[in-house]
Structure 1
C-alpha cells in the first residue's frame, strides 16, 4: 500500500507531499494542472529511467520518495533476503535526479537508505504497485497474469502446489538423469582402456611395500661378493685362522679373562672386571657363530637377481604409466580403477531406476496437468461472459473478451497456454489483447477483470490513469461502483475527470497550479466537506456550479444504492 508520496524539484512541482487513503483515492484537476506529472514521478519509484531534463531547477537535484506498507508475503521476504536488505513492513523508496553539472545527469535509487539499482526497484515494486497508464505495457498483456486470473477463479491452489512441486522434482530428476547418462557415456568410452589398465595391475599382483623391498634385495644381490668378503674377514678377526702368529680376538679376550681371574684371587676388586670380560667373550663367540651361519647363506644368486630385476622392471613401467612414486600409489591407482569400472555398472542401474521414477512421476504430473486444464477450461467461458457483462456496464457494449485455453508443452504451470483475445466492435474477429490500441479500453478491461478476481488474488496498489476516457453518465457511474467495490479490499488510486467516479472515492485530492514568486507550480489539496462538494459540482456544470449541480454532487458523495 502506498501511504505517502513526496516530490521535490520535478517538472512544474516545486515541492509537495501527498497522503493516500488505504482504500479509494481519486485525483482530479484541470487539464495541465500536473495530475499526470504525479504519475510520472511515481513511475520513477517503480524503476523507470530518469531524465534530468525534467528538473524544475537544473542546478538542484530532484527527489521522489514513496512510503509503502508491505504485505507479509514470502516472495517479498525472499526478495529482500536475496538483495541483502533488512526486512520491514514499511519501506521507503527514494529516487534522486542529480543535475547534469554535478553528476552527468545520473540518478540514484535507495530502498530504506540502501542503494539499489533499477532492476531491483522493478522487482520489488511489481509487488507494490500496478500502474495502468494509457498506451502503457500493462500487466494484463502478460500471459502469466492471464493464467493467474483463471487459476484464481478455479480454486485449485492445493492441486497447483502439488503439481508444481512434482514438476520441479521432475525437472531435477531429468537433469540428474542427463548428468548420469553423460557420465555413463564418457565412462563407456573409457571402459576398454580402464579394464586393460586394471587387468595389468591385477595380474602384476603387487603387495604392500613390495617394490621397496625388491629394491633393497636388488641392492644386496648386486653387491653379494663384497658383502661375503666383509663377513669372512670379520669372522677371521674374531675367530682366528688369518695369521697364526696373531691370535684371534676371541682367543685374546679369553686369555685376558684368564689373567684377571688369576689376579682376582689376590685382589678381589678385579673380579667384576673379569666377569665383564667373560660376558664379552660369550657375546663375541655368539657373534662369530652367527657370522658363520650367514656365510652359508651369502652366496651368489644370479637367478634370483634376474627375477628381482624383471619384477622391478615391470614395477617401474607401471609406476611411470600411472605417474605414481611407490607401491602404495600403484595400489591406490588399482583401487581407483576397480571403483571406476564398478561404478559403470552401478550407474547403469541408477539410470534404469531413475528412468522408472521419472516415468512414474510423469504419469502423476500428466494426470494433475489434465485436471488443472479441465478446471481452466470450465472457468474460462463463464469468466469471459462475466467480463463482457461488466464491459457493457462501463461503456463498452460492443467489446468482447474471449478466453482461450490451448494445449502447450508441459511446464511449471501445467500444459495450457491461456490467451485473452479481444474483439472491440463485434466483428467476430478476435485478436490478441496485445493489439488493443486504446489505453482507456485496456484500463477498463483490467478494472472489470480485477473486480471479478479481487477476492481471490493478492493484488498490489492499483493506479488507473485515464480509465474514464470516452465515457460519461451511466458508464462512468458503473466504473465508479466497480472501483469502490474493488477498494473495499485493495488500495485504488484513480486520476479522473468524471464526477461519478470522484464521488465514490474515500479520499479526494485536487491538483491545481499556483503562481508563487513569478513561477507556476503544482499543488495538491485534500478536499473534504463543502470543498469537495463544490469541486465535484464544478466537474458537473463548470466553474460556476448551480444549486442543482451542488445537490447532485452531494448525492454522488452520499453513494446512494
Structure 2
C-alpha cells in the first residue's frame, strides 16, 4: 500500500508530506482546495502524462515521491522489478517523479533511473485510479472487452497470447503476399533496384572483417618509418662491440668460470646463460623484421581506395562488412521471390490458409474462454448490484456477431482481440429490454456499475491501492450509504483513498484528511490535516449542511459516525 507521499512545488502545493494508513482514507475539503491535485500527483507518480503546467509558478521543478510497502511476496511487482533489474529490500518500493520547468521528466524506482514506460508498467500494479472520466468511458463499447479481459486475467491472458502468436504471423504473411502481388510496374522497379544493389555488392567481392584488417595494415604502413627506427635502435643497442650482448657475455663468462666454488653462482650462471641466448635470438628477430619493413606508398594507396569503396557501401547498406553481406543475402532471397513470384504467391496462399485455420481455432478458444469468464463476471456483478440498490437491474455481456460465427465463420475478420466484439448492456427497470449503457443508465447508475466492477477487480488484480476521485457524484440517500458500504468493503481487500462530498462515505473512513487552501508569503498553498474525532464531527456537519454548524447538524454527524461504526463491524459489510 501507499504509506508516504511527498509533493514539492506542484501547482499550488509548495511542500506537503502525507502519511497514509491501511483501510479507507477519505479526503474532503472545499471545492478548489487541492484534493484532486493530490490525486493528480499520485497519477503522475505512477506514470501519468506530465506537463510543465504542473510545476509551481517561479519554481524550477516539481517533485513527487511515494513509498509503497508490499507484503505479498507473490505480488506481480516483484517479478516486474526483477525483470528490469530493480532491487527491492524490506518490501519497500519508492517511486520518484520529477518534472522540470523545461518539460523534462525524470523517473526513478528505488533510486534507479527508469523510463516513463517502465514507471507506468510498475505503477499500474500498485495503484488503480478511478475518476468520473473513467465512469464515462463505460459508455465506450471498445473499452468493454478490456474490462472483461482484466477479470480473471490469467486465464484469458494465456488464451490471448497463444492466439496473438498466430495472428501476428498471419498478419506478416498477408503483408508479404500484398507486397509481392502489387502492380507489375512497381515490382519491376523494385527488381531493378535490388539487382543493381546486389551487383554492386557482389562486384566489390567483400571478405568478412576485411575492413578491420585493412585498417590495421594501413596504420602499420602509415607508421612504418617510426616502427623501423624503434626496432633498429633496439637492435643497435643490443648487438655489436661493447653493446648489450657483449656485456651479457662478459657477465655470463665471469659466473661460469667460478661456478664450481658456490652453488648460488652455478645457479645464477645457468640463468644468465639462458637470458643471453634468448636475447641473442631476439636480436636476430629484430634484424630480420627490419629487413621486411619498408614504406610502400603504392600499397597504402591501394588500401585507401579499397577502404573508400567499403565505406561507400557502408553508407548505403550497413554499418559493417558483416551487415552488408547480410543485406546482400536478404535481397538475393527477395530477388528470387520476385522472379518466381507466381510460385511464391501460391506457396504464401497455402501458408495463409493453413495459418488462418489455426488462428481461427485459437480465436474460437479465446472466445469460449471469454464466454465462460463473462458468465462468472455477470454473476458477480448481479450480486454487487444488490448491495448498491440495483437489485432490479439486469446486466448482460453481449458477444456481437455470434450468430455469424456459427454459419459464416470466415466472414468475420480477425483482429487483435480475436473475432470478439463485446458490449455491456443493462436494464435498470423490470420488464425493459437490455440496451447500451448510455441509453439506459443515469450518471448515478453508471457510477454504481463502475463501483461494482472496481470492487470485483480489486480482488482479481492484486492492486495494493485503489483511488476514487469523486465517483459518488449524483447520488444521495440510501444509494449514497450503499456506495459508502461498497467503497469500505473494497478497502478490506486493498487500501482505498477516496475524495468525496458525501458525509455517508466520510463517516465510514478509517482516516479522514482535510484539505484546505491558505496564504503563505503572499502565495496560495495547500495544507493537509488529519482530523481527530471532534474535528471529524465538525467536518461531517459542514458536509451535511454546507453552512454554519448547529446543534442539530453536530448531533446528526455523531449519529452518522455511530451508524458507520455499526456497519463497519457488521458481517454484511
Q: Fold conserved (TM > 0.5)? A: yes
Mapped contact 2:388–2:482 kept (Cα < 8 A): no
Alignment counterpart, residue 548 of structure 1, candidates 551, 555, 559: 555
Corresponding position of 1:488? 492
Corresponding position of 2:372? 375
Mapped contact 1:14–1:522 kept (Cα < 8 A): yes
Corresponding position of 1:49? 50
Please state how far the C-alpha of 1:501 moved relative to its aligned partner: 0.5
Is the partner of 1:455 in helix, strand or coil?
helix
Corresponding position of 1:558? 565
1:471 and 2:482 are equivalent in the alignment:
no
* TM-score, normalization by structure 2: 0.56
1:405 and 2:399 are equivalent in the alignment:
yes
Larger CA deviation: 494-503 vs 443-452: 443-452
Distance 2:417 2:460 in 1: 18
Please state how far the C-alpha of 1:494 moved relative to its aligned partner: 0.5
Alignment CA distance shift 1:365-1:524 (3 Å): same
Alignment CA distance shift 1:22-1:471 (3 Å): same
Distance 1:11 1:499 in 2: 28
Mapped contact 2:55–2:61 kept (Cα < 8 A): no
Corresponding position of 2:435? 430
Is the partner of 2:555 in helix, strand or coil?
helix
Alignment CA distance shift 1:466-1:423 (3 Å): farther
Please state how far the C-alpha of 1:481 moved relative to its aligned partner: 0.4
* TM-score, normalization by structure 1: 0.57
Mapped contact 2:538–2:549 kept (Cα < 8 A): no
Corresponding position of 1:39? 39
Q: Number of residues paired by the alignment?
A: 398
Is the partner of 1:135 in helix, strand or coil?
helix
In the TM superposition, 1:191-340 aligns within 5 A as: none
Alignment CA distance shift 1:531-1:77 (3 Å): same
In the TM superposition, 1:33-112 aligns within 5 A as: 33-45=33-45, 46-52=47-53, 55=56, 57-69=57-69, 76=77, 80=81, 84-88=84-88, 90-99=92-101, 103=102, 106-112=103-109
1:403-436 per-residue CA deviation (whole Å, 9 max, x = no partner) reads 3222464566554222224678998683365998
Distance 1:384 1:550 in 2: 32
Please state how far the C-alpha of 1:156 moved relative to its aligned partner: 9.3
Larger CA deviation: 19-28 vs 418-427: 418-427
Please state how far the C-alpha of 1:37 moved relative to its aligned partner: 2.1
Q: Cα RMSD between the aligned structures? A: 4.8
- Give the greater-gyration-radius structure (CA): 1
1:27 and 2:27 are equivalent in the alignment:
yes
Give the gaps of 5 or more residues in structure 1: 190-339, 341-346
1:124 and 2:122 are equivalent in the alignment:
yes
Corresponding position of 2:17? 17
Alignment CA distance shift 1:409-1:137 (3 Å): farther
Mapped contact 2:99–2:105 kept (Cα < 8 A): yes
Distance 2:115 2:135 in 1: 21
Alignment CA distance shift 1:41-1:401 (3 Å): same
Mapped contact 1:4–1:17 kept (Cα < 8 A): yes
Please state how far the C-alpha of 1:107 moved relative to its aligned partner: 3.8
Corresponding position of 1:343? none
Distance 1:39 1:359 in 2: 46
1:250-274 per-residue CA deviation (whole Å, 9 max, x = no partner) reads xxxxxxxxxxxxxxxxxxxxxxxxx
Alignment counterpart, residue 450 of structure 1, candidates 449, 454, 457: 454
Distance 2:75 2:176 in 1: 34
Is the partner of 1:559 in helix, strand or coil?
helix
Mapped contact 2:99–2:106 kept (Cα < 8 A): no
Please state how far the C-alpha of 1:447 moved relative to its aligned partner: 0.8
Mapped contact 1:91–1:111 kept (Cα < 8 A): no
Distance 1:416 1:66 in 2: 39
Alignment CA distance shift 1:40-1:434 (3 Å): farther
Corresponding position of 1:530? 534
Corresponding position of 1:365? 362
Give the gaps of 5 or more residues in structure 2: 182-186, 188-335, 337-343, 402-411
Distance 1:181 1:12 in 2: 58
Please state how far the C-alpha of 1:465 moved relative to its aligned partner: 1.5
